[in-house]
Structure 1
Amino acid sequence: MNKIKLLLIGLGLMFSLNLSAQNDFKIGLNAGINYPDIRGYEYAKYNKFKVGYLLGVTFDYYFKENLSLKTNINYERKIKKIQLTYFNYEAEETGRENFNEIYEYINIPILLKYEFESSNFFINGGPFFNYLLNNKIEPDYPNDDSDLITELKKIDFGLSLGIGTNISLNEKNDLTIEIRDDFGILDTGGVPRPIGGTIKTNTIKLVLGWNFGI
C-alpha cells in the first residue's frame, strides 16, 4: 500500500513539474493536519475522532494575476477513536481498551482561487473527491462487527471552502497557510444497521503549502 501512495504522489509531482514549464502555472508541495467529523444518523455526534494528517502536491493555473484554478493530489489519513468497556457478571466495569479506526484516502480538491489585490489573503472553493484506499483498526480489534454496519463506500464527494494567506519568501518561492473545510454530501456507508440513516463527512484542515518556481 505504501508503494501505491508514493506512486500516486510521485505521478502528481511529475505532472505538475511538466505543467510548470509554462508561466501560467505554479507548482508546490503541501502538508497539514485534519480533524474529521460525521453527521447523518441519530448517534453520529457521539463518534470521537483524532487529529490526522495529509501530504501531497499542488498546482495553480492562473487565468489572470489574481484568479486561478487550484488542485491538490493528497494522501490523507483520518482517525476515529473506539473504546471497548468490559464488565463482569455482576455488571461491574472491569476495564477499558482503546483502538483507532484509520481511513486512508486519496484526496483531490478542484478549487477556484481568488487572491485579493490589496492584501496577501485569498479564498477558494469548489468540489473535492476522496477515494478510500484502506480502512483498518489498530491494534487488532477483538470483535468482528462487519455484519452490523453498512458497507463502506470507496467514493466521497462534496464541497471544499478555504481561506488563507500568502507569505512571499523571494521572487520564486512563497508559503501559503490555509484553513479549509471539506463538507461531504454523499453517504459513505458504515452506518449501524439497527439504527439506519446515512454517514456524511465533514473535515476541518490546516494546510501549509510551499510554491516554488522552476
Structure 2
Amino acid sequence: MNKKELLLIVIGFIFSINLNAQNKLEIGINAGLNYPDIRGNEYAKYNNFKVGYLVGVSLDYYLKENLSIRANLNYERKIKKLELTFYDNQAQETGTENYNENFDHLNIPILLKHEFKNSKFFVNGGPFFNYLIDNKIDKKYPNDDSNLVTKQKKIDFGLSAGVGANISIDKKNELVVELRNDLGLIDTGGVPNQVNGTVKTNTLKLILSWNLGIK
C-alpha cells in the first residue's frame, strides 16, 4: 500500500462519514506525537526509540449523552534509533553514528468513551489495529543484517486506553487533548533469529483533536 492509496482510503472514509452523518455523530481531525517501545525478548530493553508522529481523522458516535464510540483513522510513523560504534585497528573506539529506522502504520483504534457529568474530562478504552505500510532504514546505514532478522509482520493488534479533556471553542467547535497508550498483544516479528522470544509493541501517545462541528 503506497501513500496515494492511503490518501484515497482517508478521503473515502471522510466522504462515507459525511453521507451518513446524523446528530449523534461528531467528526474531527487529529495530530499528535508518539513514543514507542517493545517487549517480549531479553534484548528488547536495548532498543532505542525516538518521538514520532501521527495525523488522521476522528469520529465520535454518541450512544447517549455521556457515552460514545470514538474511532480514528491515523497515519502513524514510529522511529527507531540505530547507533553504530566505529573502532580502529587497535580496537579503540573512534566515534559513533546515528541512523533512523522508520515504521509507517495505518492505525485504527475503536474505543468506548465515557465523559464525566458536569466535567470536561473523559476516559476511553478498546481495541486497536495497526497495518504496517512501510519499513525503511536510512539509506546511509552501512550494515546489512537482513539475514539475521525475521521478517516484520504487517499486522499488530492490542488494547488502547486513554484519558483526556474536551475544551469548548464555541457552540460547534471543540479541542480534545488526550494521553493514550496502545498495548500490543500479538507477536509482530523482527526479533533476531538467534534470540528466543517475541516482539510486542507499546506506544504512548499525546493527541490533539479538533472537532469541526460537523454533525
> What TM-score does the superposition give when structure 1 sets the normalisation length?
0.96
User: How many Å separate the matches in 2 of 1:193 and 1:102?
Assistant: 21
Q: Which moved more, 1:7-16 or 1:43-52?
A: 7-16
Give the C-alpha shift of residue 118 in structure 1. 2.1
SS in 2 for 1:23: coil
Structure 2 match to 1:68: 68
Which structure 1 residue ranges, 5 or more long, are not aligned? none
Give the C-alpha shift of residue 16 in structure 1. 2.4
1:7 aligns to 2:23 (yes or no): no
1:49-99 CA distance string (max 9 Å, x none): 110000001111111011011100000000000011111221111222211
Preserved CA contact (<8 Å) 1:52 1:79: yes
Preserved CA contact (<8 Å) 1:76 1:105: yes
Which structure 2 residue ranges, 5 or more long, are not aligned? none
Structure 2 match to 1:207: 207
Give the C-alpha shift of residue 196 in structure 1. 1.8
SS in 1 for 2:147: helix
SS in 2 for 1:150: coil
Preserved CA contact (<8 Å) 1:100 1:139: no
Q: Percent identity?
A: 61
SS in 2 for 1:40: strand
User: How many Å separate the matches in 1 of 2:66 and 2:116?
Assistant: 7
Structure 1 match to 2:187: 187
SS in 1 for 2:71: strand
Preserved CA contact (<8 Å) 1:114 1:123: yes
Which 4+ stretches in 1 moved above 6 angstroms? Answer: none
Alignment of 1:24-173 (within 5 A): 24-173=24-173
Amino acid at match of 1:144: D
Preserved CA contact (<8 Å) 1:9 1:75: no
Name the count of aligned residue pairs: 213
